[in-house]
Structure 1
Amino acid sequence: MGYYPMSSDSTVPSSAATVVVGAGAVGCSVAYHLSELGAENIVVVDQGPLPVTGGSSTHAPGIMFQTSPSKLMTKTAHYTSRLLSDAGVYDEVGGIEVARSEERMDFLQRRVEHATAYGLPDPQLLSPGEVSDHLPLVDEDEILGGYYSPTDGRVDGVAALQWYMEQSDADFYGHTTVTDLDVSGGEVTAVETDRGRIECGRCVLATNNWGYQTGQLAGLDLPIAPVQHQYAVTEPLDELADEAVAPRVDTADMEIPGDRSIADAMSQAPTRPVGRDQDHSLYFRTHGDALGLGSYNHEALPVDPRKMGGNTDERQASVREFTAEHWERATHPDRDTSPKQAFEELLPVTKDIDFATTENGIFVFTPDGMPVLGEPEAIDDLWTGLAIWWTHSGGYGKILAEWMETGVPKLPSGPVEVGGIHVDRFEPHAGSPDYFVDRGSTRYRQVYSIVEPGWQPDDHRALRRSPFYHHQQELDAEFTQSGGWEVPKWYDSNADLVDRYADQIPEREGWRGINRSPIQGAEHLHTREHVSMYDMTSFSSIVVEGADAAAFLQRMCTNDVDIDPGRVRYSLLCNEGGTALGDVTVVRLDTDEFLVTTGGGNSPGIHGGWLKDHAPETVSVTIEEGSRATVGLWGPKSRLLLQRVTDADVSAESFPYFSAKQIYVGDVPVLALRVSYVGELGWELWAPSEYGGRLWETLWEAGQDLDVRPMGSGALESMRLEKGYRLWGTDLDTDSDPFAAGLSFAVDMDTDFVGKDALADIQRDGPDSRLVPMTLDDATDAVLGGRPVLDDGSALGYVVAGDYGYSLGESIAYAYLPTDYAESGTSVQIRCEGTTYDATVRDEPLFDPGRSKILR
């Protein structure tokens, strides 16, 4: 093991079990964690010198703020800080985020709640005076307070890369440019470099700024957008004269591309907490006796992902020239103060200061702002670890290594949810550079913004429209975007229902009322009493057919899906560790033909990709994303409406719950499934997309005297929580097993399926936690996800989903709680938006436990 600068006449090994492309924070972390798991014959290559490669890992200031609304981002950040702290390359000086507005103080209270929920140690709100005690250069008259996380800090980039290389069993090769990825028969077989060809069993792309370009070598359109970001280091300050400390690593003899002063400045450690002024999109830290100032407070400066380029004698590849105009003028579309002015107000010592080092450093964003991990379904043995910064690099390297070696993505604390970071989560249009560069620029703009609940982008809209779209426009739908689809959240045409149900719809104020409407509650209550139509076109169907289709699905599904034609069964897909990859509805159409239905968003790529990747040659798997238009017809009058428009017998005796029939709705051929996601009598009606408009019109016209209404996704959420129906990616994902999730009925241990051995162990010992509903004792406020569930101030878990149950008249929250607290009647507290609520654990389902409504 070791690392090799590479001379002009040297070559790389001819073969390796694993080739990692990229020797920055992510590539080194993956190689280290693979080694820890016992993987052998690992080769890491990078186009730059080692360890200062010319990527963002060594021009970045290394600041690590761990708290995020995302549990996964918080957990990976904390793991990274502990790993690098133990390695001796992390400065645990703490981190402080200041508030210059009341809105930001509310935001910082949410910070405390998220940190408490996800287990970060000792999060605190500080007064202005307490902030200046920690950060005496801050003018306390400019702030209202701060949020303090004691284990935040800074990673020493060069020292960390050296530590990874020394501790790993991999061989590292610098000055080695990857020129091609050989893909044959749907799998990667070799990595071509300018130093020779490396035959490989698997390959990891950890190229971040060059992620799009390296993906293209394998024919993948990875939506990785490079964007410039400003950072400057002042000349030494008298106020910091006593703060100078010797760097961990002497870089004098290292080969460093471009401006050497950048790497030298970054090697100077902070001795005070790192800070953020998010109201002005700024952050700062000390560099020994100097001050480093970082700014997102400028218009987005994207870089063409196809033209990133490489190192030269004059330039580090991921650094562009500092653009003074973006420092001195207010160019950010949401900020009216320049970075220079805002820093001078917050840190008066910076007024008229000279800079010793400046840069426009490049790093990357995806359309949703989350990383890209995993093995794409299209290419076996090609793994991705992209759009990851120092803050989360250790954690994601660990997750990816576990995923590659064991099939179960996890941290030491247990399995983790990967639906939101999976490489296959992106919709088909996301690979367009016009799209992902624009969306990446939007994510850059939002880095320090207060993003409201339910926020929606306004660019690249109406990309995917169901056949019902023009009808929904006529009904004044309030659209949200999901996977590129325009999905109604509520319909303003239903505003009259608010008066009808006014006494059952609590007011929503403040943060919890943003991008919500009382119409959502009205649509919920109307559906319980009458009949509604819900657009399910963004959901996907997967056709599985062939001589071995039944045996294949039996192997992939946790439930017994060897059912009679015309029957429907709910099941889970699990990985080898027994945690849930997703939930699906399996419909047997014929002896050798099945339809598997799944949700929208990332479900088609992840769930469909999982099935395609595991299917034998005798089984065909076709993902029908967008090829069917689907209406959820739900409510106590749904049978009356459906019977009016079909000759088929839809009585309870002829068409029982969880069965399927091919019928005609008017002239439209429909696969009708007697299933309901809202706990009411109803059907899902799946038709070829070209018939969708007529399907909607037929139902709509026939149901006018029944007061048929359209229903949006807001009502769907509150209705499914009343029934305790799970939602993939929210209260069910790859960090939960079926028994903890309360889905033991969907596991048939008499069948043989992926993950069975792991589930047998969990079944024998019992889960450590259980997903349970709670209701607030004395409040009708809606509880938001990611908020801590407490027992006398100690965190037990966190809310995974919450809403008001309009039919129950109670506020509902779901959380995974330790089994000792999961019994009905247990008293707990939930903290949300600065208020602590008393709550009680309840049995589920909360609504219609005898299922009289759904089975009628």
Structure 2
Amino acid sequence: MTLPTQARVVIIGGGVIGCSVAYHLARLGWSDIVLLERKQLTSGTTWHAAGLIAQLRATANMTRLAKYSQELYGTLEEETGTATGFRRTGSITVALTRERHEELRRQAAMARAFGVEIDEIGVAEIAAKYPHLNTDGVVGGVYLPKDGQGDPANIALAMARGARMRGAVIAEGTKAVHFTRQGDRVGAVDWRAEDGTSGTIACDHVVNCAGMWGRDVGRMLGSDVPLQACEHFYIVSEPIADLGALPVLRVPDECAYYKEDAGKLMLGAFEPKAKPWAVKGLPADFEFDQLPEDFDHFEPILEQAVHRMPVLAKAGIHTFFNGPESFTPDNAYYMGLCPGTDNVWVAAGFNSIGIQSAGGAGMALAQWMVDGAKPFDLGDVDIARAQGFQTNPAYLSARVSETLGLLYADHFPYRQKATARGIRRSPLHDRLEAHGAVFGELSGWERANWFAGAGQAREYAYSWGRQNWFDNQRVEHMALRDGVGLYDMSSFGKLRVEGRDAAAFLNHVCGGDVDVPAGRIVYTQFLNARGGIEADVTVTRLSETAFLVVTPAATRRADETWLRRHVGDRNAVIADVTAGEAVIAVMGPRARAVLEGCSDGDFSNATNPFGTARQVHVGMGEARVHRVSYVGELGWEVYASADMAVHVFDALMAAGEPEGLRLCGLHAMDSCRAEKAFRHFGHDITCEDHVLEAGLGFAVKTDKPDFIGRDAVLAKREAGLDRRLVQFLLTDPEPLLYHNEPILRDGEIVGHLSSGAYGHALGGAIGLGYVPCTGESADALLSSAFEIDVAGVRVAARASLKPMYDPKGARTRA
């Protein structure tokens, strides 16, 4: 075999994802593309995929990608001459419980906000559209007429042909065996073909599209790609007379999906406890292979399916199939530029939705590679969220046994993973646990979300209504508002930036001015060239040359990566010091009294005003106190070294007892921040949300001469805003808001909520969301009548551009 010795990009993996990336890069004008496939195209998992192509995903941008995939597959055959088998059959999802029906109704509302055609249908209409279904126990469902199905292998082959037509080289039977890395760049790929030939390709970029081999290829490339193959089961019946053309059917309460194809019926399953496969390594010769049958594992699904679909009882089984699919710890795939690298990209770990995602994922990644910036917010799938420890096979094996089943589990709000827990713990963990903490998990961190009362079960009872911790949260929330509460923020990321050029470097990256006296805290954002928000942080100047950047726990690695990619040759060192300090938030009107009760520090406004940090003694130890607040109250974040953290906690608790101090969880922190209209990164503010339209212009200092995004901020100020982030309060105190509920302005859908919570002090559910306003004044916008669609019911809402709780911020400066 002869291959080019130079390429702009080498793509590893010839499944549907790799073929899509090659196709879309070629469409954007890259011709020197080489795709290496170890065996034959589609021979890993693509060939046996079910080929279900749905439009609706959990977020607006993931839905955008899925819709694009469907539209692309409808045109590929005409373009390439390769049949894709794509047809719009429609899809039905049915609910067998009231909770599932509530979920489907909320999904239908979300679909309307995202522009996806959807109908809520009753039992009679379900039976009319799917006459073979036994409707016993069916409560209702939704129908998406434009959903479809296709031939997975041919979709991939069509994109491969489209890439070849534009000059891409696709080499089958050719394995990448080594990568030459210098610093943060991979400069060459060594390959070896099955015919014994070998060679080296110098390249500008490498893309890891290796599917279930993605973790191994990532390791070779020096990047973390945590995924694990699981066994995935389906059966195909013998031909069924008069079956007819049918929509795709999902019965998630029975873990099952059904697809009609050529007069046969396919039954697939996402069982509650999955079987990880090849944990110790994938077979070197795997190609179009099946895994051993395990009828005992599949039998419970089949028994329910025979009841639900009686025609199956009369039809023989033509095929019992067991094949591997790769799954990730959070059920979201990986895409983007890998942390710690300048030219290594990934698109892998598609959690059994690779066919419906491939077109959009390939398009978005290709655009990102060409432009050097994300085309829109891809935070849900950005590889920068992956943690190094998550590549541990023991962790992956435990976690993916759960995540496969979660695809069809009830998607309740606040649902916590049950497996692979207890990995990262705050120094205060045991103290919090002893006081009744109920923990959730984020990025491996165990975090106290709420505190159970005496005799109360320390567990979540999930629901779409008021969950079992609603009253606990209310008590904690009101303690922060009216008295004093303490919560643990140790999981938040802490990045120390130090060096001669640290101030200049951070002023280039941050929209705010961080060149302030030591002891000052600056709330700011990292902006991109479009004025979008890449990170939402505080920066504390510790000394002339040292700063502390505090970030959300979920984005710590992404924010560190952003800093490292922009430091250039400046004299500045970036270090993750998250584990070195615990952070104890003491918040509420009585917070000053608590701190004065255990410290010799001066916490007065004259000495320690809002936005300043000071070193003090606490108990018999020492700590640094930051006067800031994410809940909108007087308060301090107390930073204590890990060795002194428990002592400092005990001293604060003792001083807080006479003040009525209450331990609080992060659910209460979130509901308080929603009342105060504080933005939540990843929901209310993302890389595609302009900092001015997010209402954060006060945090941007354009009198600085040079920072990323400055021109975009000035241009937006000149042109005016096209949308504004608005806070909403439902006038009915009963409904609950989570996020993605449609916003209606004068009866028309104009957007969706980016976040939601219950405002216990305001007496109703709170939401934040963007509303178009091109050419309008703030008064004109607010003079409209607003409603929020909650599971199909329109609920009137008050709207405000200022925080409805303490709009002038007097409480934080008390």
Normalised to the residue count of structure 1, the TM-score between the two structures is 0.88
**Are the aligned partners of 2:270 and 2:404 in contact in 1 as well (CA < 8 Å)?**
yes
Deviation of 1:448 (Å): 0.9
Cα deviations by residue, 1:808-847 (Å, 9 ceiling, x for unpaired): 2233111111126973343122122343211121231111
Which amino acid is the alignment partner of residue 377 of structure 2?
Answer: V
- Report what 1:274 is aligned to: 248
- Report what 2:430 is aligned to: 470
Change (3 A) 1:534 1:694: same
- Report what 1:69 is aligned to: 58
Deviation of 1:142 (Å): 6.0
**Are the aligned partners of 2:224 and 2:388 in contact in 1 as well (CA < 8 Å)?**
no
Cα deviations by residue, 1:411-450 (Å, 9 ceiling, x for unpaired): xxxx2241x3222213342121111121111011222111
Change (3 A) 1:223 1:662: same
Deviation of 1:538 (Å): 0.5
- Report what 2:409 is aligned to: 449
Deviation of 1:191 (Å): 1.6
Matched, 1:21 2:12: yes
- Report what 2:544 is aligned to: 591
Matched, 1:371 2:333: yes
Q: Give the secondary structure class of the aligned counterpart of 1:237.
A: coil
Aligned-partner Cα distance in 2 for 1:539–1:838: 36
Cα deviations by residue, 1:501-538 (Å, 9 ceiling, x for unpaired): xxxxxxx9952212533121111112222222121101
Number of equivalenced pairs? 786
Matched, 1:616 2:568: yes
**Are the aligned partners of 2:108 and 2:791 in contact in 1 as well (CA < 8 Å)?**
no
- When structure 1 is superposed on structure 2, of 426-435 and 206-215 the one drifting more is 426-435
Q: Give the secondary structure class of the aligned counterpart of 1:703.
A: helix
- When structure 1 is superposed on structure 2, of 539-548 and 295-304 the one drifting more is 295-304
Change (3 A) 1:816 1:495: farther
Which amino acid is the alignment partner of residue 540 of structure 1?
Answer: G
- Report what 1:193 is aligned to: 191
Q: How does 1:395-434 map to 2 (within 5 A)?
A: 395-410=360-375, 415-418=376-379, 420-434=380-394
Alignment match of 1:283 (pick from 248, 257, 267): 257
**Are the aligned partners of 2:526 and 2:535 in contact in 1 as well (CA < 8 Å)?**
yes
Q: Give the secondary structure class of the aligned counterpart of 1:544.
A: strand
Deviation of 1:141 (Å): 4.7
Which amino acid is the alignment partner of residue 729 of structure 2?
Answer: T
Aligned-partner Cα distance in 1 for 2:708–2:688: 16
Aligned-partner Cα distance in 2 for 1:526–1:181: 56
Aligned-partner Cα distance in 2 for 1:807–1:297: 42
- Report what 2:48 is aligned to: 59
Q: Give the secondary structure class of the aligned counterpart of 2:579.
A: coil
**Are the aligned partners of 2:103 and 2:411 in contact in 1 as well (CA < 8 Å)?**
no
Q: Give the secondary structure class of the aligned counterpart of 2:89.
A: coil
Cα deviations by residue, 1:619-674 (Å, 9 ceiling, x for unpaired): 10001122111111111222222233333322101111111222222333322211
Aligned-partner Cα distance in 1 for 2:260–2:808: 63
**Are the aligned partners of 1:142 and 1:345 in contact in 2 as well (CA < 8 Å)?**
no
Alignment match of 1:826 (pick from 764, 784, 792): 784
- Report what 1:5 is aligned to: none
- Report what 2:717 is aligned to: 763
Aligned-partner Cα distance in 2 for 1:799–1:231: 37
Aligned-partner Cα distance in 1 for 2:13–2:535: 32
Q: How does 1:354-365 map to 2 (within 5 A)?
A: 354-365=316-327
Q: How does 1:280-679 map to 2 (within 5 A)?
A: 280-297=254-271, 299-311=273-285, 316-317=288-289, 319-327=290-298, 329-330=299-300, 338-339=301-302, 341-388=303-350, 389-410=354-375, 415-418=376-379, 420-493=380-453, 511-600=464-553, 602-617=554-569, 618-679=571-632
Change (3 A) 1:534 1:287: same
Q: How does 1:110-149 map to 2 (within 5 A)?
A: 110-121=106-117, 123-141=118-136, 143-149=138-144
**Are the aligned partners of 2:579 and 2:642 in contact in 1 as well (CA < 8 Å)?**
yes
Which amino acid is the alignment partner of residue 263 of structure 2?
Answer: D
Q: Give the secondary structure class of the aligned counterpart of 1:68.
A: coil
Deviation of 1:208 (Å): 1.3
Change (3 A) 1:182 1:107: same
Which amino acid is the alignment partner of residue 89 of structure 2?
Answer: V
- Report what 1:265 is aligned to: none
- Report what 2:634 is aligned to: 681
Alignment match of 1:49 (pick from 40, 45, 49): 40
Change (3 A) 1:171 1:662: same
- Report what 1:207 is aligned to: 210
Deviation of 1:703 (Å): 2.2
Give the unaligned 5+ runs of structure 1: 1-9, 244-270, 331-337, 497-507
Cα deviations by residue, 1:251-283 (Å, 9 ceiling, x for unpaired): xxxxxxxxxxxxxxxxxxxx4321112121111
Give the unaligned 5+ runs of structure 2: 78-83, 193-197
Cα deviations by residue, 1:217-236 (Å, 9 ceiling, x for unpaired): 12434210111111222222
**Are the aligned partners of 1:453 and 1:514 in contact in 2 as well (CA < 8 Å)?**
no
- Report what 1:216 is aligned to: 219
**Are the aligned partners of 1:576 and 1:758 in contact in 2 as well (CA < 8 Å)?**
yes
Change (3 A) 1:102 1:674: closer
Which amino acid is the alignment partner of residue 372 of structure 1?
Answer: Y
Change (3 A) 1:41 1:657: same
Deviation of 1:310 (Å): 4.6
Change (3 A) 1:103 1:185: same
Change (3 A) 1:297 1:810: closer
Aligned-partner Cα distance in 1 for 2:87–2:478: 55
Aligned-partner Cα distance in 1 for 2:271–2:438: 31
**Are the aligned partners of 2:497 and 2:572 in contact in 1 as well (CA < 8 Å)?**
yes
Aligned-partner Cα distance in 2 for 1:347–1:639: 65
The percent identity for this pair of structures is 31
- Report what 1:236 is aligned to: 239
Aligned-partner Cα distance in 2 for 1:615–1:278: 48
Which amino acid is the alignment partner of residue 693 of structure 1?
Answer: V
Aligned-partner Cα distance in 2 for 1:693–1:347: 59
**Are the aligned partners of 1:452 and 1:514 in contact in 2 as well (CA < 8 Å)?**
no
**Are the aligned partners of 1:787 and 1:830 in contact in 2 as well (CA < 8 Å)?**
yes
- Report what 2:81 is aligned to: none
Aligned-partner Cα distance in 1 for 2:455–2:529: 48
Deviation of 1:177 (Å): 1.3
Aligned-partner Cα distance in 1 for 2:130–2:734: 41
Aligned-partner Cα distance in 1 for 2:716–2:139: 49
Change (3 A) 1:275 1:210: same
Q: Give the secondary structure class of the aligned counterpart of 2:424.
A: coil
RMSD, matched Cα: 2.3
Cα deviations by residue, 1:64-93 (Å, 9 ceiling, x for unpaired): 223233333322211211222233443112
Aligned-partner Cα distance in 2 for 1:200–1:372: 22
Q: Give the secondary structure class of the aligned counterpart of 1:369.
A: coil
